[in-house]
Structure 1
Amino acid sequence: MRLLVVEDEPTLNAQLCRALEAAGYVADSAHDGEEGWYLGDSEPYDAIILDLGLPKIDGLTILKRWRAAGRGLPVLVLTARASWQEKVDGIDAGADDYLAKPFQMEELLARLRALIRRSSGHASAELTCGPVRLDTRSGVVTVSGMSITLTSHEYRVLSYLMHHPGKVISRTELTEHLYAQDFDRDSNTIEVFIGRLRRKLGVDVIHTVRGLGYRLDPPDA
């Protein structure tokens, strides 16, 4: 899962990116509203953390522009503004959730997990496909109750597929959601991660759709 942090305070921006990466996400960052608006409008993020008090373009304006352009991705508004009217303004502008500063990082991560799950149609924190279970809270993956160890990239591939079961996901889409903006992307490595995942899972849940990509389905589907 690939996220965008739009926060002008350098220390907090860096802290958020580190926390997201430690939680298994890929994080891009923007330090002003102009850069944040552009990235959010042009890149396929799974969720965005958006500060309201930004230089160049304020957060509410950015949010309204994204929604007017049909960008429906989850947005968590993060701000020092704590009045109820400002919260209402943020939600009315299209925010999916609202968190006032100061905050606990654990709460922010929990809210993000919930937003991402709901945006892909999942109510539970545990995603399942046949005998495969992924706990989005702990990052633990089990097969028939037995825990398996995955690398960070293998986990991200599996997590993205499990958030979108039954949908054909192209190698390009996986690449766009697995790597940060400044990373040297190579969609051919996706085949390597898929091969490793299949061996580690030991069950036939990741299916190749020739010429299109991959689809996650239970073994008997």
Structure 2
Amino acid sequence: MLTDHWPLFALKLQTASLELRPPNDEELAAIADVAAKGIHAPDQRPFLTPWTHLPPAERALYVIQQHWLSRAQWQPEAWSLGLGVFHGGQPIGLVSLRGRDFPILREVKTGSWLGLEFQGQGYGTEARAALLHLAFAELGAVAALSEVFQDNVGSQGVSRRLGYKNDGISRDVLDGQPVVSDRLRLTREDWERNHSVPVLVTGLEAGRRFFQSRPGASLPT
């Protein structure tokens, strides 16, 4: 079976309203269709990369190819876990949990998008909370990091509600102009004080080795 070789396919995060899991290819196509319909208003630019402004068909293809690429390039020293977000069995978006030198640094970064029609209903906060539970409670992270444009009110609000604190700024170039992002950090201690979303994690045990740096290494839980 495929899960014998890629056990992360068995991973599932469940909250009161959502289910997060690695999508199979048919589910990934459905998630790409959600992206094709739009994930932000035409006059907004919430991401540094321009993929959300591609024509719908190209936007959908980008989602599929990037998901495949992340899976193919997985290494314990540099990984990106992409999970489809499902509500009542319906795909509504995609989230990611990323680690670089995670066995040493114990830090993760999160990313997410939801279809425009599913925004403003608390799903973004609930999905991020599920990712943070996986990172802190299951994988032993010490901090979660995020970077968000200062005018991205929605993402800023999610981070603040979950207990992130300012950690400086970063400057990049967007459409030939400088743009400023807030760097935000959530420590394990702040997460333990603030987390309130119950999350059920199943199917992780066989996949723990994918987050380890060497044979026989183990991550704290």
Please give the TM-score of this superposition, normalised by the length of structure 1: 0.31
* Structure with the higher fraction of residues in strand conformation: 2
Please give the TM-score of this superposition, normalised by the length of structure 2: 0.31
